[in-house]
Amino acid sequence: MIEVKDLQKSFGENHILKGVTTTFEAGKTNLIIGQSGSGKTVFLKCLLGLFDYEKGSISYDGRVFAQLSEAEKRTMRADIGMVFQGSALFDSMTIAENVMFPLRMFTNQSKSEMQDRVDFVLNRVNLSDAHNKMPSEASGGMQKRVAIARAIVNKPKYLFCDEPNSGLDPKTSIVIDNLIKEITEEYNITTVINSHDMNSVMEIGEKIVFLQLGLKEWEGTRHDIFKTENKAVTDFVYSSNLFKKVRKMYLTE
11 binds ligand ADP (CB under 6 A): yes
Q: Which is nearer to another protein, 105 or 213 (CB)?
A: 105
Assess 16 for contact with ligand ADP (CB under 6 A): yes
To another protein, the closest distance from the beta carbon of 251 in angstroms equals 40
Own/partner contacts of 76-80, CB < 8 Å, gap of 24 or more, are: 77/49, 77/106, 78/102, 78/106, 78/154, 78/156, 79/156, 79/157, 79/158, 80/48, 80/49, 80/156, 80/157, 80/158, 80/159, 80/160
Q: Least distance from C-beta 40 to Mg ion, angstroms?
A: 5
Q: Considering only residues 90-149, where is the footprint of another protein by CB under 8 A? A: 90-92, 101-102, 104-106
- Contact 147/178 with Cβ under 8 angstroms? no
CB 117 within 8 A of CB 124: no
Residues touching another protein: how many (CB under 8 A)? 23
Residue 58 engages another protein in binding (rule: CB under 8 A): no
In whole angstroms, what is the distance from residue 160 CA to residue 251 CA? Answer: 32
Interface residue with another protein, options 80, 176, 179, 183 (CB under 8 A):
80
Closest CB to another protein among residues 153, 225: 153
Stretch that binds another protein, among 82-90, 124-132, 208-216, 221-229 (CB under 8 A): 82-90
Using CB under 8 A as the binding rule, the residues of this chain from 190 to 229 that contact another protein are none
Instruction: Indicate the DSSP class of residue 87.
Output: B
- Binders in 17-76 for ligand ADP, by CB under 6 A: 34, 36-42
The residue type found at 181 is: K
